[in-house]
Structure 1
Amino acid sequence: MTDPVLSTHALVARYGDFQALYGVDFQIAEAEAVALIGANGAGKSTFLRAIMGLLPVAPDMVRLAGQPIGGTPTDRMVQKGIAIVPEGRRLFTGMSVEDNLRVAVDQAERLGRKGGWSLARLQQLFPILRDKARTPVQSLSGGQQQMVSIGRALLCQPRVLLCDEISLGLAPKVIREIYAALPEIRAQGTSVVLVEQDVGLAQSASDRLYCMLEGRVTLTGASGAVTREDIGRAYFGGSHAMV
């Protein structure tokens, strides 16, 4: 692969005395989609939190275009070009769809982030954001809220978009609509990291995948090359494999 835009190197993370990640090596190239799979508690969300500066890690454990950024505060991670679609969406309730999105526009302007995403382009990607612009976000369906959350992250003009369980609890039709937007997001040059429980969806939507178990990577490979048997072994134990 080409030089990674984002990489981790022997990444270790803790919650107090509890060690959650054990030496995770990871990389993603520009405009690439990489899936991160594994059972609940495998460390996938912790991995994203560690990248975003929400957990203390050493600077050289996370690199952006080769530069050490580990442990950088979250707002400065956004300034550097990393945005997250968090599990649970975490929108500003009591505010409209448009107002939620304008918060991200204002943040990007304040941080000096420039890019190709605007409210108009985002509304083309997800028309519901135009149709429901004045609707309070708490009145939306779960799928519509997820589109707002993705849109908010994109308006931060990221080089790397971290997506934490964006299909969780959504109807299949809505999941297809959300995942159908990924090619256009990548066409902007954005790299996408997908934490995903649905293995089939993860494989079909990504170029490569990593499987995690108990804070360690147990499988890496091209998404089209790994088999369900490979993934089954990686999910439940066995030595690290690269396919």
Structure 2
Amino acid sequence: MSAVLSTHGLVARYGDFQALYGVDTELGAGECVALIGANGAGKSTFLRAVMGLLPVAREMVRLDGEPVGGTAPDRMVQKGVAIVPEGRRLFTGMSVEDNLRVAIDQAARAAGKAGARAGGKGGWTLKRVHDLFPILAEKARTPVQSLSGGQQQMVAIGRALLCQPRVLLCDEISLGLAPKVIREIYAALPEIRAAGTAVILVEQDVGLAQSASDRLYCMLEGRVTLAGKSAEISRAQIGEAYFGVGHAVA
């Protein structure tokens, strides 16, 4: 499997505090990889480092083999990487449709600079996002701050998809949501992947992460402590990697 995205000895810091220690990962085209670990393990920091939100050495992050570490986030979007950030970070005071159209405009500008890039089979359009999450068509004129948490998460995912990503970084997309809504959101992942988009999924729910992903990495204190095929890793192995001791994970 050739990696569309990979990290090589990835190190990241917040000032003098080192948060990542030599993290090696890879993501194949159309693959879903889960990143699990306790709070403070470095999962969100990993996504921020990949996205260019933290300064890292250029050779530490590669996209299709090209060193891209430290590339500005807007340039990463142009190159085909988009993020669904923790907390969604929508434009309050704007409607659902206007939030989505911001991404359409951004993708159009990126295509103008870098040449047209299809996001999968035919690219993501507003209609296609509406087909994925029909509630967004019903709520098109509704201010995003009036939506439920699950509906806001759908807007955040739709906005990222409309950037036409080949790689989608998802940071805690189930956090704080009701189980029914989580199922609806996760049900969209196969269609996203079928479009050719690879996904890195940061997730606290270990069972959900295993069922949704092809492979997983477990992190502890900024290091990868376990890596393998999701279906082949036992809960005992995850427990040991998750806590650094022989605990089981529910």
Same fold (TM over 0.5): yes
Unaligned regions of 5+ residues in structure 2, if any? none
Residue 234 of structure 2 is matched in structure 1 by 227
Q: Where does residue 194 of structure 1 map in the other structure? A: 201
Give 1:107-146 correspondences, 5 Å limit: 107-112=106-111, 114-115=117-118, 116-146=123-153
Residue 183 of structure 1 deviates from its aligned partner by: 0.5
Q: Deviations over 1:159-191 (max 9, x none)?
A: 100000000000000000000000000011000
Number of residue pairs matched? 238
Q: 4+ residue runs of structure 1 moved beyond 4 angstroms?
A: none
Amino acid in structure 1 at the alignment position of 2:236: E
2:4 is aligned with 1:5? yes
Contact preservation (8 Å) 1:108, 1:155: yes
TM superposition shift of 1:35? 0.1
Structure 2 equivalent of residue 54 of structure 1: 53
Identity %: 80
Q: How does 1:29-40 map to 2 (within 5 A)?
A: 29-40=28-39
Structure 1 contact 108–114 (Cα < 8 Å) conserved: no
Structure 2 counterpart of 1:114, one-letter code: R
1:41 paired with 2:40, answer: yes
Say if 2:239 and 2:245, in contact at 8 Å, map to a contact too.
no
Alignment match, 1:16? 15
Superposition deviation, residue 237 in structure 1: 1.1
Q: Distance in 1 between matches of 2:105 and 2:185?
A: 24
Question: TM-score scaled by structure 2?
Answer: 0.94
Could you say which residue in structure 2 is the equivalent of 1:168?
175
State the secondary structure of the residue aligned to 2:241.
helix
**1:84 paired to 2:87:** no
RMSD, matched Cα: 1.0
Task: Give the Cα–Cα distance (whole angstroms) in 2 for the partners of residues 34 and 67 of structure 1.
Answer: 20
**Displacement of 1:114:** 3.4
Name the aligned partner's letter for residue 192 of structure 1: V
Q: What are the ranges of 5 or more consecutive residues in structure 1 without an aligned counterpart?
A: none
Whether the 8 Å contact between 1:167 and 1:196 is mirrored in structure 2 is yes
Distance 1:163 1:79 in 2: 18
Aligned to 1:159: 166
- CA offset digits 1:189-222 (Å, max 9, x no partner): 0000000000000000000000000000000010
SS at match of 1:224: helix
1: distance between equivalents of 2:182 and 2:10?
31
TM-score of the two chains, using structure 1 as the length reference? 0.97
